[in-house]
Chain A
Amino acid sequence: MKKNRRDFLKMSTAGVIAALGSYSLGFGGESSKTTAITTGKLVPGSNKPNIIFILVDDQRWDHLSCMGHPFLETPNMDRLAREGVHFTNAFCTTSLCSPSRASFLTGNYAHNHGVKDNLTPWDNNKNQTFFENLKKAGYRNGFIGKWHMPGKIPKLSAVDRFITIEIAEGQGRYFNCPLIIDGKTVERPGTYITEDLTSYALDFIGEKSDKPFCLYLSHKAVHAPWKPPKELDSLYDKADLSFLPHEYFSFINMQGGNQYEGGAPFTTEYNYRNYCETLVALDRQIGRVLDDLDKKGIADNTIVIFASDNGYSWGEKMTVGKRFASDENMRISFIARYPRGIAAPGRRSPAMVLNIDLAPTILDAAGADPLNKCDGLSMMPLLRNSKKSIRSSFLYEYFKDFPYNVPEQYAVRTERYLYVTYKGRRKPALYNIQDDPRTLHNIIRSNEGRKVLPELQQLLGKYLEGINHD
């Protein structure tokens, strides 16, 4: 049966409503359901869980088959959602690769960790990652995949295995991508990057050690230019794309401002199909990791957290890319599975969670010391179901990003509203997300807008206090 965009949205909404229903009916406040953390088979004598964080690039929050996508098949991501907690109201605080990655690692907003765009370097002396505290707590740490932050690849003293990408300014390539393995460049002819990184990840998991491990598996996929492996290259060639937003068209890359976004000179349809096929390839590799955990008998004592660094617009408001404060770009996929530490697995949580929550959550779960300075909050109370929510608003920031055609933005997002301010000549905007999830109607001059604006301005002002805007 053909599904149009409206059906797709209906299905997504229905899913969220169903999750909300089940939340209120059965699971609220049942912290007692949390099972005690027990010893994993690979780490005898340890009561600490293993941790795997899988980071995807540019995956939209609604691009999983369990979110009702019309044709995308992601059985392994769905499995994570089925066996864990799927946060359907998750966001990044800056919808850009480098700042978002730094936020995952440090638990801080971009104005605090300093990686404001894809050009401002990571300061290894200033920033503290969760790896450091995990190391002190007795963990064996591995970082495998895309580091992709400006400047030289740093020496992460708390990371025991560091495999990353330098080519193409750290973006890497889908095929034959050389890797930097513990500081040395290694050519990888005949490889597909998602599969190659996963193989290294499995090697890391399988290393014999008496310590629990933390693996940070950071994929290039599904960043532009989207290239699926050969066997998936034509999987969605005939897929019906009528559900894409009304305002998209084939040559959207020719629209002023879109020329630097990935995908030119190909058509939107070609790019979107490749995006989905590349995502399927990624899903299969996630399956390899999950199967490996099962085979090793350590799945129960391993926390698997899956997230994307930011969302992506596919034609919404005639844009492609991720650089504006809108739900398409700010929302991310975020799933946590931990059989021994999650209450009521298989639920969807509507709690507002952020990329900056990853670091405190991991440290909390591991029983490690918290970070000295951290803007994020632990999601463990949500996973244990002892709390229904940990925040009601957050700051979104986007710094100048030459040559991308996007103004500097500061926004505050609450459950109901998105208030965006821009540097430069563009006027601020206010959207009622509940009524207008696609942020098509600026209500700043409406009665409703005038009523809520002062409170939102005050909230944004509070968030912006102390930020150096230079």
Chain B
Amino acid sequence: MTFLVGIVLVVFLVLVILVISRVQSVVNLVKSKQADASNPHPGNNLNANIFLVVLVLGFIGILWSYLHASNYFLPEASSVHGRRTDDLFWFSMGLLTIAFVIVNFLIFFFSWRYRFKKGNVATFYPDNHKLEMVWTIIPAIVMATLVFTGWRAWADITSDAPQDAEVIEIVGKQFGWIARYGGVHNNQLGDYNYKFIDAQNELGMDLSDENSFDDFTNPSVMHIPANKPVLLKIRARDVLHSVFIPHMRVKMDAVPGMPTKFWFVADKTTEEMRAETGNPDFNYEITCTEVCGSGHFGMKMQLVVEDEATYRKWCAEQKTFLQTYPEYVDKVPANLRAKAIRLIPDYQEEEQVAVADTTSL
């Protein structure tokens, strides 16, 4: 490393000396006042040389800053599709870096090499069809490759979720996410209607649908099982939001009035990532990437990835919505009320209290 820095320093030094000597020669030329006749374009050589200097320093700077920044890039994707898109990204980036280096080298080098020289005459070279065909076809082939690989990945990622996927709903609102689970009893998400939303029933759960009796919600953390397809059903209450799970390479907008979805397989648990990153406080995060108002930047939710057994255990420990707010049993149609109440272990007492109250009046 020190060796490399040494070389860089030497290159720097040489270039600096080069530039200074050029500047001086230009200054001298200007001073001598003879410049006008012999050199109709004062400063031309200086500018040509700066192209060369910027070329060299630029590539060094880009390389160095890249190496520095890459320490802080996201760790390897924690999802199966994420590693695929990462590979594609770095493959494309590699190809493009080659093109970037070649093209910019040519622009800068030609600028320097073909700077104005008195007596030189530019080459009259208006076209060359063969050459133009070559550089139409080569980018076309490269593009075709990239399109094809990208399209295959895109088609797989956006295909229908497997039947056994764990379905979790995530809803965006100003400014937070709320997760809803189908519940341990039947693991089916109940219907919803935005008109049922109120301060407690934040997701507008439709309690006339028996699937919602065992649903539970969580406004701060989402748990998902590892190594199992997870299908996120995404919606928004008020304005556009966008679910972004950076470590999973997951992103999908949440649109009011138009449910969206995204499925993926997370295969590294939070614990494994803590070990991998050497950071005992590591947590997966879900954030918002569609501007949604002044609190946009603070809109986040924690994501916990755990093995399926732990996940099931966690689900079983959660209080269902009706458990938390038993008064909503009133919204359940009479014919289903018995079923709803059966799913609320400690409901009877409250009901009796309520009945007692009314009789005492």
Tell me whether A and B are bound partners: no
Chain B residues in contact with chain A, CB under 8 A?
Answer: none
